[in-house]
Structures are given as structure tokens and as C-alpha cells.
Structure 1
């Protein structure tokens, strides 16, 4: 029942939000809904009761499709990340003005419901339903509350993701035609030939690669992140990209193991090209939003390479990094939102010396920045170490050393452009724009403190999360073991 509540509460809460007209009331209501969802997510994880974390009922019986949701270790972690993110988003943007704020926050909650459904779905048709449900409110959020170029950018974003969704639907229907069931266990028992797996692989992978995104399917992302309202950008980069990563692990590798092995090096090469390309492009950015957008492409690319290495260390590292990346990128967006609200710009060339006026904000930024570059004792270090270990020790890929070196070079580049941003924005002398700045308020300090605590706790003691991934990791790896022993 808890799994069902994780979807129903933001869904019903979002619908009610549309009918609340007073701004303070609608903001308080949205935060209340998000906090209740967070408490339920925490209760579900600590309860450790499989029955409470699962729900199944008849849905489309004529198609042999059921409303089947369940929170395995990976799903529980992503639901917790989603539940934790929305209160942070709502509090950090509490004073950000929106036209028709009730519609904005209502769509945000509907997006949360869609995300929860994607992370919990154990039926392929239900998975597709929630995949689309999560996209629709984000489309309206970007097109109605975005920047000056929002219409063109949102159109491109929608066409990319909708085309990918259609390709995925064709693949799912073809698999269903063989299994006569949309249940995930039936999908895992398919016996497709190598040729069938090959074209099915690309139908599904392209849809997932667009969502992540992976080079060369990434071109929608920087513009969309830049033009979207920051609250929506937080959802896109912190949570929606994880839909694609989860889909690789739950719906691609176990369903099409032979094709995943055959095309693994090709996909990893694409991801590595994207990692290096995005890292180099990030150096050229003056807009902080675009810089962080390109850094996200590099981080997700590394997860993709680790997943297709098909090792226990690589898969567990990618799962842990999904959580860590979500926390860290959320922290970066919170800082950027505060700076833009205080100084009216995101351009690094127009800022400087903020540390003298906002020491607390500076401290939190550098904690998040150090985590973003994988400094030891931060959450990203553990995930990156496991992923590199998995890539280097993989017996599936022929180019483990090359992929490790290339990705490692990108990590160095990431540290350089992240610290360069810190130097340009926070250090040095103040200018006419930043001279009148002030430090962050108590609610902003609270939000950033929660993020900093998550960074350090997971970095020092990641075992609870890693332990929850063990069962799902073994179930993914066993398919490659059967093929390649």
C-alpha cells in the first residue's frame, strides 16, 4: 500500500492544487503534500516489508496487463530521492514569483507522481504510461514558465522525447506479442534470437538515451535546462534523467542480454565521446546553468559506461551514483537559483567576490562542488570509485582500460571547470553588482545544510544504500553470467 501512496498522494495533491487560488496557501499546501510523501517514503524504506512496498491489481485484463508496482532496492532509493527533492525544490524557490502559481505547483506535483510511477512500475505497459505521464506536466512547465526561447526549445525537447517514446512503445508491443503479457517477469523470460534482440535493443535504447541523455541524443538538454524555470530544471536534471538510467538496468539489460553484450562497447564509446565533449564544452560556458547542464551529461555518461561493463561493482556504483548525482546537482541548482534571485544574472563574467558578502552560501557551494568532482569523503567519490573499478575489471568490454582513461580524464576536466566557476563567482573582489549582496536566509541555510549532510553521510557510510542494491544487482548480472561464462 505504501508504494501506491507514493503515487496517489502527489497525484491527488497536485489536482487539488489547481483549485487553490491564494499564493501562500497553495505554496504551503504543495509543501505539505511533498513532506507527507517524504515521510511515507522514509517509512516504507525503514519498514523493510516487501508486502507494504508492493501493490498489484487488475488493470487492462484484455491485454494481460496489471497495475503492478513494487519498490526493489533501486526503486526505493529513487523514490526516496524523488520524495526528498520536492520539499527542497519548493522551499528553495519559496520566494520565486510565478504567474498562476497554483498551476505551476500543481504540474510539479503531477510530475512527481509520474516519476514515482516510473520508478515503481513492474508492468511494461504501466511503465510506458507513467513514462509519458511524467513528460506531459514538464512540457507545460517549460513552455509556460520558461525563458524567452522557451517555445522553440520546448518543441525540440518534446519532439525528441516523444519520438523516443514511440520507438520504445513499438519495442514493448513486439515483446508483448511474443510473451502475451506485459509483466516484467514474462519480459525477462523472452528467448529472442540475436537478430531480433539487436533491433529491439536500439528501439529501447534510443528512448532511454534521449532521456538520460547520451551523445548524440543530448542536444535538447542544455537549451531546455537553460530556458526552463529553475524548479523544473531541478526535476529534469536531478530526477528525470534517472528514468533513463533505471530503464537500462530494469528494462534493457535483463530483457535483451545478448544485444546488450553485443552493442555494449558501441554504447560505451558513444557515452565516452559525450563525456569528453560535454566536459570541453562546459569550459566555454559563461551561463552557470549551461555549465551545470553539460557537467550532467558527463556524469550520466560515466554511469552508462559502468552499466554496460556489466560487473557487480560497476552496476552498484551506477545505482549509488544516481542518488549522489541527484543530491549534488540539486544542490548546484539551489545555489544558482539563489544567486540569480539575488543578483539578477547567471553569467559568471558579471559576478565575483560573493564570498565576502555571503560566506555561508560560499561554504555550502564548495561542499557541493567538492562532491560534484568526487572528492574523498563525499558521496560521489564512492560511486565513481566503484564505477571505475567495475569498468576496469570488466570481462564484457574489450576496451576497459581505454574507457577508464578517457572517463578519468573527463573527471579531471570536471574538477577544473567546477572550481573555475567557484573562483569566478565567489572569489576575488566584489563589483558594482555583487557589492550590495547579502548572505542567505535561514530557510535557504536549512535546505543547503540538508544537502551537505546527505553528501557527507553517504560519502562516509554508504553501506545501507549499497546493501539495498545487492539483490537487484545480482539479478541483473546473472543474465550476462549465463551468456558469457
Structure 2
């Protein structure tokens, strides 16, 4: 068995979900997502046992495209993140009713298929195909099942689609140029071997950066994010923030840095500064938000800015901390957006000023929400602390001021997140009754919190998994 099995399960699952009908769609989608997760765990065990679970087959002769999937530690870590969050996201949606549910859940599985393929692809054009395929389902999920005014939602989603598509075209141009230099090959191992001039690397680096900066997003390419996060249904927001933005961060490490290392080293300070600017900007704007979902969107912007800064340090600690924080952020941001959805189900509002008094009505939910908030601000003992501390340590190795400024995500984050918690959970009781969490809601929160606490105290399994792959990438970078 190899990693293509996961893709087959997800693709078959997407079609099976669609043809199962609206009543069974959610359950069929959950079943296939759990099957894909189980398959990924089996493959992880095989990988740890030394088995080759990668795939490389000739696919198209002209141009020379291979169906190549590389299952190393880094790729498997991102696949596990995707396949662990997908059933959680599907299960969390059981409290909502969706028109044309078969299409809704089918699109979720198809998106998981495309994102998994992006994390595994070892051929540039195959990677680009998966990258673009992931955009299609989230476009329809946000457009059709989103909330708010239809015209405003359409504008926000179309802007997101055009932004990301335009950035991707620059990346495609870079791949075509690289393949010509590599005798027509798009294989990542051949692209790594290219000896490009400093000028060539600058333009390749910039082309990749435009695609990734929009997807992550990094300021000033972030303008689509908050509106789309707010207008999309919560499931769409979870997919975007929990998994899809990690495609850009992962791609920086996998594709951009090793292919154009000279440019990465030359402009290191600039791109670290852009990441840190996102930390400060996102935190300050989050302080002013009155809508719970938009506050969490800008909070996410601040956290991914720090991850991007860590990625561009070109150090093992920086790359390792960035990957750890990607995974931790995926779980905590999904948990926070789900908490916002649970509140909306009871109170039918996301305005922070209209909330309050939940603690007296639901101590269980209050406790779970507080743990997620504390994890978000990187309290020691949570998974986020491991990633953020490692990233800040790597920044201090480059310049102590980078670490000081990057650390504002903890200080400002603690302020606006705890202030939000105070307004939403404490204070006067809302006129509406907040019923306690259901069994389904409790299970979703419990799984997320268990992951955040377990790896907060014992991150070694993930660290051991990703470190050899990151060392290999750094060796490619340092050869140039």
C-alpha cells in the first residue's frame, strides 16, 4: 500500500457522498474521512518501519509530467493534519442543516483530496493541479452556503478567487521556466539540482512568493481574508484557516526555499520583516473588532505571520518551529471558530457586544472555550507554546529585535483574546438561553483539546517525524 490509497479513498468518498443523497451525505462523508485518516495512520507506521510508500509513475510524455507523490516526514505530518481535521470539521457540522447537503459534503471531501495531493505532490505540474483543484470547492462552499448579504458575499468570494488564481499563474510560469532548464522535467528532485543564477533565482522566488503570500496570507496580500472568513459558513472558514492556508506555508519550505536559496538568503531580513509586520498588524486590528468571527480571522493573520517569519529564517529551529506551529494553529483555530459557531447557534449573533453571561449558563462550554483561548495565546503546556517558542528562538538567532517584535503576538494576543473571553463569557447574561453543549459538540471540543494538551507536553513524535525532512531541505539550501 502507498500514499495514493489515501487520495483514492477521498476521491471515491466525494462521489459516494454526492450519490448517497441529502439524508445520508453527512454520515457517508464522515465515514470516508475516518477511513482516510485510518489509512494515513497505517501508512505512517509503514513509513516509520522503513517501507517506501512514495509513488512515481510516468503520466504524460509531452510535456514530461510524472504522477509522483513523495511521502516523507514533512509531507506525512501535513497529510495527518488534513485528515485529522477533516472528520472533526464534518462532525462539527452535524448541528446545522444545509440545503443540497450531498453537494456540500461532497465538496468538503473533494477539497480534502486536493489539499492532500498538494502536500504529497513531487512533480511541479501535478502539484500545481492539486493546488488549483483545492480552490474550486471552497469557492462554491463559501458562495452557496455562506452567510450575510448575497451581493457582499459574492464580491468577497470572487475577490478571493481572482487573487489566488492570479498569484498561482505566476507560480505556473515559474514552473514552466524551471522545467525548460531541467530538460523538460517537473520532478522536484530535478528542480532541486538546478544551478540558477542569482537573477533567475530572484524572479523564481518572487513568482512563488506571490502565490504563497496570497494564500497564507502575508500583508499586504491579506485583504481578501477577513471578509471571506466572515462570509463563508463556519465549515468553510475552518477549512480555510485550519488547512488551506497551510498549503502556502508548507510550499514555502518545500518548493520556494530549496529552489531559490540564494534569493532566500539575500532577502531574508525583508521577508522575516513582512511576517512580523503581519503579527503586529493582525493583532492591532483584532483589538478593534466587534464581530467575533472577524476577530478570530485577524488573530489567525497574526499567528500565520509569525509562522512565515520562522520559515524564512532558514534555520532548522525556524523550519521545525514553523511546522509545529502550523499543526498547532490548525487545531486551535478550528476549535475557536467552532466555539464561535456554537455561540451563534444559541444567540444568533456574532456581535461581541450582544453576548455575555454564558459562564453562568454553561460552565462546561466556558471551560473548553477558555482552554482554546489559552492555547491560542501559547500558554506553556499547550501545543502552540512549543511552536511559538521555537520560532521566537530561531528569530533571536537572526536578530534579537525580530524575536522581540515577533513576541508581540503573545502579548497582544493575550490582551485581545482574554478581553474577548471576558465580554463573551462573563458579564451580564444575554436575554436568550444558552443551552449546554450537546454530545456531538462536546466530542469535537474534547478531541481538539486532547491534541493540544498531549502534544503540548510531548511533541517528540511530531518533532522526530519532521526533522529528517527539514534537514534534507536545509542541505539543499546550503549547497548553493
Range into which the TM-score falls when normalised by the shorter chain? over 0.9
Q: Give the counterpart of 1:240 among 232, 236, 244.
A: 244
Q: Give the counterpart of 1:151 among 154, 159, 162.
A: 154
Pairing 1:427-446 to 2, within 5 Å after superposition: 427-433=426-432, 436-446=433-443
Task: Determine the structure 2 residue equivalent to 1:404.
Answer: 403
Deviations 1:376-415 (A, max 9, x none): 0100111111111111113xxxxx2221111112321011
1:53 shift after superposition? 2.6
Is the Cα–Cα contact under 8 Å of residues 358 and 437 in structure 1 kept in the other structure?
yes
Deviations 1:286-326 (A, max 9, x none): 11111111111111111111111111111110011111010
Pairing 1:458-477 to 2, within 5 Å after superposition: 458-477=455-474
Q: Give the counterpart of 1:168 among 168, 171, 176.
A: 171
Pairing 1:3-402 to 2, within 5 Å after superposition: 3-23=3-23, 25-47=24-46, 48-49=48-49, 51=51, 53-147=53-147, 148=149, 149-179=152-182, 180-394=184-398, 400-402=399-401
CA distance in 2, matches of 1:45, 1:27: 27
Segment of structure 1 superposing worse, 406-415 or 103-112: 406-415
Deviations 1:13-68 (A, max 9, x none): 11222222242x11111110111111111111123255453122221122221101
Is the Cα–Cα contact under 8 Å of residues 377 and 460 in structure 1 kept in the other structure?
yes
List, as ranges, runs of 4+ consecutive aligned residues in structure 1 with deviation greater than 3 Å: 49-52, 479-483
5+ long unaligned stretches in structure 1: 395-399
- TM-score calculated relative to the size of structure 1: 0.96
1:2 shift after superposition? 3.5
Is the Cα–Cα contact under 8 Å of residues 279 and 408 in structure 2 kept in the other structure?
no
Deviations 1:187-217 (A, max 9, x none): 1011110011111111111101110000000
Is the Cα–Cα contact under 8 Å of residues 261 and 480 in structure 1 kept in the other structure?
no
Task: Determine the structure 2 residue equivalent to 1:397.
Answer: none
| Count of residue correspondences | 475
- TM-score calculated relative to the size of structure 2: 0.97
CA distance in 2, matches of 1:42, 1:166: 35
CA distance in 2, matches of 1:60, 1:2: 21
Secondary structure at the aligned position of 1:122 is classed as: coil
CA distance in 2, matches of 1:356, 1:143: 37
Secondary structure at the aligned position of 2:66 is classed as: strand
- The Cα RMSD (Å) is 1.2
